[in-house]
Structure 1
Amino acid sequence: MTDVIPQPRRMTAHEGDFFELGPDTRVAAGAGTERTERWLRATLGAATGLPLAPGTRDGAVEGDTVRLSLDGGLSTEGYRLVVEPTGVHLTGGGPAGLFWGAQTLRQLLGPDAFRRAPLPGGRWRLPPVRIEDAPRFPWRGLMLDVARHFMPKDGVLRYLDLMAAHKLNVLHFHLTDDQGWRVEIKRHPKLTETGSWRARTKYGHRASPLWEEKPHGGYYTQDDIREIVAYAAERNITVVPEIDVPGHSQAAIAAYPELGNTDVVDTTALSVWDTWGVSPNVLAPTEATLRFYEGVFEELLALFPSEFIHIGGDECPKDQWRRSATAQARIEELALADEDELQAWFVQHFDTWLAERGRRLIGWDEILEGGLAKGAAVASWRGYAGGVAAARAGHDVVMCPEQQVYLDHRQHAGEDEPVPIGFVRTLEDVYRFEPVPAELTADESGHVLGTQANVWTEVMENQARVDYQTFPRLAAFAEVAWSALPAPADRDFAGFERRMAVHYGRLDALGVAYRPPGGPLPWQRRPGVLGRPIDGPPPDK
């Protein structure tokens, strides 16, 4: 009974018999609970084979009933779950809280409740318990990079289900980079006609001599995006799109060469980048480039209702701007000090543009360099420093430091880890991650919206590889993001491991190709494919 992940705030066991779902069990759904009602019938109905027929909607209590209701006295994402021998009452502070409570109910039914069809002889019993729960942070995210290796739509929908099972509520959707453009923009069709595929792909780290000599690509139509966003909304997940500017833009320049610095490089000779790292080919700081991307963002805003729009803003090499007469003329025209201020001007343009349309810009912590409008938020990836600086300047922050929650980093120092990248970050390391820097005051800490784990896919060529790098560490991260845990040194990792022993069964039922506790299985290894191991401890925050 105590194996729920993420760990609830309060869980009290009662004496008495279990409540057992059976053919006569009904779901009585009160006003405002329709989304969770649909999910329960579809998901638990498939796993159990039970009809879960509608009960009364007038609030009357019936025996053998799962009752759903809302209570404005709870926090919006909070819930209360009471299981008694005669029935179940699940109450949410809002539709989201009710849905997260349904995820807990599913876990209490056992791992087979995560299957898509019932196994023979299954019994569906809930222990007598009272759970009161609410999340620590409003932003509990997963950044999924589909630009480096494309993930087909069905895979994205699957990851939304996996996020929901762990009570994560923000999908940061990294849609563009040097290696591919993944979203249809109708006014600029070459972005997908040309920019969505590359002729070949580096296999392993960029130092690897290996290549996969076949085209790689794919993109989401606008209807695909609408489906993904709607599917996420049914699971109380917000999709935040990322379109990278002004760096990480070679795929866009390959499609539309006029976007590049044409006075210093023959942009007509560029193709979508086939290796990893940071491309030197960045956007030209011209009015034409601004108008082009305003058009991109106009279509994006129609597809994504999220408050935040991510514009990247990281890793923009300045060499082409230093050599470009056009860029230098722009610096002089705007009375800027240097190329760094030119990048800040570029970011601030879209900060203002988005704010005028009721949205908020978020970008990687490099966007702090040069100043930001009050409404912009920062995703702190280069350690904690960017988040600390942003919070102290009054900006909202999402903490995602590379040294702690980049899930492309290897999980063990063993030589059989597939394509070992970065620092060793074990399950325990992720479990002991603390999103709020200790040096922030209480007021400054209030600017920490939450945290997210980042899944960069340079060395993840398919769904199985994404699963391996992401799980089981995402379960540990989800508990950090949701639960009111003690200080990192005081966290009960042994207790978490005991709960994980059950949770692995849920992941098995969901078909997740996670890294086993004992190390990679033979088919999960990638012998001979170079990674980029980094020796020694990570930098201090």
Structure 2
Amino acid sequence: MVDVIPAPANCTWNSPGYASLDAETALEAGPGTEGVARWLRATLGAATGLPFPETGDAHNRIVLGIDPDLPPEGYRVVNDGGPYRIRGGDAAGVFWGAQTFRQLLGPDAFRRAPVRPERDWDVPMVTVEDAPRFRWRGLMLDVARHFTPKEGVLRHLDLMAAHKLNVFHFHLTDDQGWRIEIKRYPRLTEVGSWRARTKFGHRASPLWEEKPHGGFYTQDDIREIVAYAAERHITVVPEIDVPGHSQAAITAYPELGNTDVIDTTSLTVWDSWGISANVLAPTDNTLRFYEGVFEELLGLFPSEFIHVGGDECLKDQWRRSPTAQARIKELGLADEDELQSWFIGHFDKWLSARGRRLIGWDEILEGGLAEGAAVSSWRGYGGGVAAARAGHDVVMCPEQYVYLDHRQHAGADEPVPIGYVRTLEDVYRFEPVPRELTEEEARHVLGTQANVWTEVMEDHARVDYQTFPRLAAFAEVAWSALPAPGERDFADFERRMAGHYERLDALGVAYRPPAGPLPWQRRPGVLGRPIDGTPPNR
């Protein structure tokens, strides 16, 4: 059996042995696959040093094509002695097939230049057939707490593509930074994109990094990121957080805050972690301001879904604000939870009128779920179950299972240990569809997503360490069909991971080694956030 990750549905040997690519191997793109051919020629060409001309011998060529009999995103890779054939139900399927073909060539195919120029590039004589279990196979990257420069984002997209993940949830704003240029509101980046210093470790840590931290993406950067993702059949879903997690925006434009409760002009972009009490005021001025933000956002992101956050909105200021209380009375609402529901509902209608769909964290259920909204269920399964039963679409991302900022081991050497212990096997055994849902309700589970919050990840090496190898396990959960209800073969996955670590090495990924952190991956003396106990069994 070939060691492909995520595990394919079917893999059969056509005959013993291998065929080899060489300098004469052509690459032929059928209609609709031209973009995949460009990616494959550039990627494999760089790694192998082979030219992959467009025409050549009838048998010594790679043929890309769309087969309408295959399902969306499904593919078939065939090496039977004739031309190598990569077919998909659509262009995305052809691309995922090309990713599998790359894996079949071995870990050196993941490098950017040939390391053994005289080597043979052998392809096993197999047929691989596959299709994804879920349409939403996501990774969320938080760039607000610690900024990831554009080149780092493009690298993450490549790593996602290598694992057949297709939704990049781009967490662009929070209390600690605003990361996207909005031309009509320049202070969002002039003021809101940087902070004077940064807490090092958990918020209980006494340590500080006493230097400014910041950065943002220009609108052209965003266009480049979206286009780069689209070439890899990845959809970018932006998140602009409202009405909580908004201190950076209020610092830039103090009138957005609850000015009748606090002096918002004295605020700074937050330099610590946790949940800020400074939330948006529920005023018409705030609504118009964020309509302007979202209007520019829609011009940059063609995604069906726009994420509005909606989580961890502390309501103490609203309880003390005469303006907020007057709005509750004016709208005939019961309490502050319903006020947040009204706020989210406004943008649900606003986005729907423009052909988009709102998605938010499961707190948007509080006070009544906005019509048409989808839910990212992060506080466990409960929010997703409630939303699906109410007929709303759900992305399952419970923190107890797929928050990759959480520690990977209970050992003392884990760097800045946060949250639950979630090992590679724990992630691999995660089941996205709650068992209490009926078959009809389960259809509302669009898929699943792993989340990477970066409070304690100061650079890309720390992000790599927390994310990998667990993202490989998650990718298999999101892509591969269950062999039987509740069953996954972790021993087989570990066997295949032995080869996959070599691919990650070739890609330059600073993953957590199976034996534990390397000396330079540790953070001795930096406090984390222990959590006792484990989530309920599913």
TM above 0.5, yes or no, is yes
Structure-2 change in CA distance of 1:283 and 1:487 (3 Å): farther
- Alignment partner, residue 25 of structure 2: 25
1:328 aligns with 2:322: no
Q: Is the 8 A contact 1:29 1:55 kept in 2?
A: no
Consecutive unaligned residues of structure 2, counting only runs of 5 or more, are none
- Alignment partner, residue 10 of structure 1: 10
Q: Is the 8 A contact 1:383 1:401 kept in 2?
A: yes
Counterpart residue type for residue 55 of structure 1: T
Q: How does 1:216-235 map to 2 (within 5 A)?
A: 216-235=213-232
Q: Is the 8 A contact 2:242 2:309 kept in 1?
A: yes
Q: Is the 8 A contact 2:376 2:395 kept in 1?
A: yes
- Alignment partner, residue 299 of structure 2: 302
Cα distance between partner residues in 1 of 2:453 and 2:25:
44
Helix, strand or coil at the partner of 2:79: strand
Aligned residue among 236, 239, 262 for 1:239 = 236
Q: How does 1:428-439 map to 2 (within 5 A)?
A: 428-439=425-436
Helix, strand or coil at the partner of 2:15: coil
1:119 aligns with 2:107: no
Q: How does 1:135-284 map to 2 (within 5 A)?
A: 135-284=132-281
Cα distance between partner residues in 1 of 2:298 and 2:85:
39
- Alignment partner, residue 477 of structure 1: 474
- Please give the per-residue CA displacement for 1:39-90, whole angstroms capped at 9, x wherever unaligned: 110000000000000027xxxx811010111011111100011112333011
Helix, strand or coil at the partner of 1:240: strand
Cα distance between partner residues in 2 of 1:88 and 1:539:
47
Q: 1:540: Cα distance to partner?
A: 5.6
Cα distance between partner residues in 1 of 2:485 and 2:205:
37
Q: How does 1:301-450 map to 2 (within 5 A)?
A: 301-450=298-447
Counterpart residue type for residue 429 of structure 1: D
Q: 1:359: Cα distance to partner?
A: 0.1
- Please give the per-residue CA displacement for 1:135-160, whole angstroms capped at 9, x wherever unaligned: 00000000000000000000000000
- Alignment partner, residue 72 of structure 1: 68
Cα distance between partner residues in 2 of 1:499 and 1:17:
19
- Alignment partner, residue 94 of structure 1: 90
Q: Is the 8 A contact 1:80 1:131 kept in 2?
A: yes
Q: Is the 8 A contact 1:82 1:88 kept in 2?
A: yes
Helix, strand or coil at the partner of 1:84: coil
* Deviates most, 121-130 or 270-279: 121-130
Q: Is the 8 A contact 1:178 1:249 kept in 2?
A: yes
Identity of aligned residues (%): 78
Counterpart residue type for residue 202 of structure 2: H
Cα distance between partner residues in 2 of 1:486 and 1:202:
45
Q: Is the 8 A contact 2:348 2:371 kept in 1?
A: no
Q: 1:15: Cα distance to partner?
A: 1.3
Structure-2 change in CA distance of 1:488 and 1:458 (3 Å): farther
TM-score for both structures, normalised by structure 2: 0.99
TM-score for both structures, normalised by structure 1: 0.98
Q: Is the 8 A contact 1:17 1:85 kept in 2?
A: no
Task: State the number of aligned residues.
Answer: 537
1:289 aligns with 2:308: no
Cα distance between partner residues in 1 of 2:501 and 2:276:
39
Consecutive unaligned residues of structure 1, counting only runs of 5 or more, are none
Counterpart residue type for residue 275 of structure 2: V
- Please give the per-residue CA displacement for 1:100-141, whole angstroms capped at 9, x wherever unaligned: 000000000000000000012322110000111000000000
Helix, strand or coil at the partner of 2:217: coil
Cα distance between partner residues in 2 of 1:533 and 1:147:
23
Cα distance between partner residues in 2 of 1:158 and 1:128:
31
- Please give the per-residue CA displacement for 1:373-402, whole angstroms capped at 9, x wherever unaligned: 442100000000000000000000000000
- Alignment partner, residue 50 of structure 1: 50
Helix, strand or coil at the partner of 1:14: strand
1:537 aligns with 2:524: no
Helix, strand or coil at the partner of 1:508: helix
Cα distance between partner residues in 2 of 1:226 and 1:87:
37
Helix, strand or coil at the partner of 2:141: strand
- Please give the per-residue CA displacement for 1:497-527, whole angstroms capped at 9, x wherever unaligned: 0000000000000000000000000000000
Cα distance between partner residues in 2 of 1:87 and 1:18:
13
* Deviates most, 186-195 or 66-75: 66-75
Cα distance between partner residues in 2 of 1:37 and 1:46:
14
- Alignment partner, residue 496 of structure 1: 493
Q: 1:488: Cα distance to partner?
A: 7.2
